[in-house]
Chain A
Amino acid sequence: MEQHPLQPKVKKHHHHIMPTKTALMIGGTLLFLTFVTVWVAGIDFGAWNFPIAMLVATVKASLVALFFMNLYYDSKENGVIFITSILFLAIFLTFTATDLFFRGDVYVKGSLAMAAPAGKSKFTKPWVSTPELIAHGKTIFLAQCTGCHGNEGKGDGAAAAALNPHPRNFTQQEGWKNGRKPSQIFKTLKEGIAGSAMASYATLPADDRWGLVHFVDSLGGPNAGDTNEDLVKVGVDPNKTESAEAPEEKTIPVEVAMKRMVEDGGYSEAKAGEESNVAPGNPELENYDKRLGRSFTPHL
């Protein structure tokens, strides 16, 4: 009986059997291309090295797929199936790259200031003005502040005209929003002034901020000076010698956050006897892992 007229046509095709000569020729070409790619890799084309190597590899791979794996002689269906896989791999790579290669634009909440390496603070008691601190502050002032506040701190920088309210003129005694005591200037630097262009400069290390405070202070007349309470208010312990403050939560780049997680050790697993790192502050959950008698180290 013949095939039923309605049956989908099964293509009757002869299996292609590759002649030995062709097989050897293609094999030879592949070996030659291997030689080429090793040779080319020895030459420095800079950024082009990678594409060139991939191009040669793709030519080789195509030869293998087309002739060794018979795609050249086969029905189109199988070729399409194979190409699809590469297409979807390309989708995977491209879309993941839109994240990984463009991470610079992401921020999270966290503390920006890296923990000051022990013993590296240049100044003891930086809240007490010294000529060195003022000089240090000046260099930072010239780098960070002159755009608005002007070279002499008169509030006449290049951007000043466009700003409302105008930038502070540091040589004037009156009208300071937060007051003129060093601790009060420090507060402004730390938090910024809402409703104005004055942003928070908490991203600067505390030493630098104290330097700025004393420099700005030196531009105007004398002021009342700080009491210990004033210092405590801005997070300074007057009895200590270093400027360490409690880290504050800020909006910071993800990259920095990841680095901090690793370097500050908040991320490392708890070992026996160490504090639990599970949900600190929640009495229900505190030391939960310890109570279960387990530590946060990997197991099977």
Chain B
Amino acid sequence: MAAAPTAERPAIARRGPAAPRPGPGGRHRQNLPGYLFLSPWLVGFLLITAVPMLLSLYLSFTDYDVLTPLREVHWVGWDNYRRMVTADPSYWHAVRVTLTFALVAVPLKLAVALGVAVLLNRTFRGVGVFRGLFYLPSLLGGSVALAIVWVSMFNRDGAFNSLLALFGIQGAPWVNDPRWALETLMLLAIWQFGAPMVIFLAGLKQVPTELYEASSVDGAGAVRRFWHVTLPMLSPVIFFNLVLETIHGFQGFTSAFVLSNGTGGPVDSTLMYTLNLYINGFVRLDMGYASAMAWVFLVAVGLITVVLFRTGRFWVHYSDAEEH
């Protein structure tokens, strides 16, 4: 391995003087190695992402049912999209569930992440250990094991109710109660606040200490320093986390799937958009319809992101931009 580059280098040097060769042909030839080096990714992207995505766009206008060969599907025009909007109550139910989930879980998760980041943004013994511990749940990500643990903690005889029982409180059967199942999922999502927390921590380190010193001199207390120095200085990082977590929140699937045995239950209380999509595609074998749902989802999440970017102009402050 090590020998190859050294053997190559003189060759490049020798070719060097002849290199400036203007004209489109030469330029093209220069790009070729670049594309070749990119090819593992490029081929993967085309075969595994782009082609299936375009195919699903086509399928969303058909009655494809997975079992029938692709060449025998029927074009149904906008039927799938029409059905979603006008004739499928469970679709709108899933939209409501997903919006509720994202609107509650995402802001809370960011608030917790920011709060803990502020607490951990100082130097004391063992701060590294604490940072690691708080980050740990995020590492486990959307894992199935974690969702299973959650189910066993938050059912009728779960650990959480045993804890409540110590205070004489009779807890609900959380995950098996349609009034609380979604909230239990939200809690799981919020608990995994480690990833945005780490990003917030990095952001906090960037805030110039002079600003704090200056505001202290002017008589600002801790709360005012947080509101008038930390938050504005951190706004680009908050914005970044908000966009990322919103997209992530809308895509919640694993925990809802595991918690409800793939049904979205009890009584559809955890029927997230992606879970509903999965049920339609892989359980009902209504893949044409599921593809249409996926495309609407893609466009919707895209639009929400655009809206976030638009509103971001009003509250995100880039310190270097202000200098211009």
Bind each other = no
A residues in contact (CB < 8 Å) with B: none
